[in-house]
């Protein structure tokens, strides 16, 4: 009787940038920093069902893992409307936007009690308007922050519109927000 061995499924890898976690490539070969993934995960990227820019690799539970990025969009606008609230510049808020001008990025931290409150309603988000200092009449851009991101993450990083002196405005105040310059 002849015995046939089934060939193992080929290995699939996601290569990523070690500093940012950004997905560099998906396939059967890999770069220096990579994770091994199931075939169906790789095929979703290869077939175009998933976009690499919507995912990143993070260190979690003592290993690197693929994770969907927060649903954040930044849109350039030319004009704004009135009736907006300027976020105070201190660290006392339940949502704190820390601006890093050198690296052109924002770090958003959210208080756990506030996370529990806003994630009770899936899909809840807030728009934050980036403007010249104390001027809500001109908008450099809009940050859409989906609070569902904070169910599993403590911080959110947004890379845009942080390289100049700005203020942050929003239409609704759920709780206490603040803006810190680093």
Percent of the chain residues past pLDDT 90, beyond the cut: 4
Is the confidence at residue 5, as pLDDT, over 70?
Answer: no
Is the confidence at residue 73, as pLDDT, over 60?
Answer: no
pLDDT of residue 35: 92
pTM, rounded to two decimals: 0.51
Is the confidence at residue 82, as pLDDT, over 70?
Answer: no
Reported as type and span, the H/E element at residue 23 is strand 23-27
pLDDT tens for each residue of 117-172: 777 767 778 888 888 888 777 888 888 888 888 888 888 888 878 888 888 888 76
Q: What is the mean pLDDT of residues 38-45?
A: 88
pLDDT of residue 13: 92
Is the confidence at residue 16, as pLDDT, over 70?
Answer: yes
Q: Which two tokens stand for residue 165?
A: 């002196």
- Give the integer Cα–Cα distance in Å for 158 and 88: 19
Residue matched to tokens 């609704």? 172
pLDDT of residue 8: 57
83: left (phi over 0), alpha (psi -120 to 50) or beta: left
pLDDT of residue 20: 76
Reported as type and span, the H/E element at residue 170 is strand 166-170
pLDDT of residue 100: 92
């Amino acid at each position: 009787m002849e015995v046939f061995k089934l060939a193992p499924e080929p290995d699939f890898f996601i290569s990523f940038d070690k500093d940012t976690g950004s997905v560099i490539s998906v396939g059967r070969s890999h770069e220096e920093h990579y994770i091994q993934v199931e075939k169906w995960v790789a095929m979703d990227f290869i077939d175009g069902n998933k976009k690499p820019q919507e995912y990143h690799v993070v260190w979690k539970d003592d290993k690197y893992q693929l994770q969907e990025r927060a649903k954040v969009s930044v849109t350039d606008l030319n004009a704004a409307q009135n009736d907006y609230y300027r976020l105070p510049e201190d660290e006392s808020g339940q949502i704190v936007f820390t601006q890093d001008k050198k690296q052109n990025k924002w770090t958003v931290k959210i208080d756990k009690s506030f996370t529990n409150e806003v994630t009770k309603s899936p899909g809840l988000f807030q728009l934050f308007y980036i403007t010249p200092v104390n001027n809500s009449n001109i908008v450099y851009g809009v940050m859409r922050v989906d609070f569902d991101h904070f169910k599993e993450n403590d911080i959110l990083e947004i890379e845009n519109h942080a390289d100049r002196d700005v203020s942050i405005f929003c239409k609704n105040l759920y709780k206490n927000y603040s803006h810190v310059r680093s």
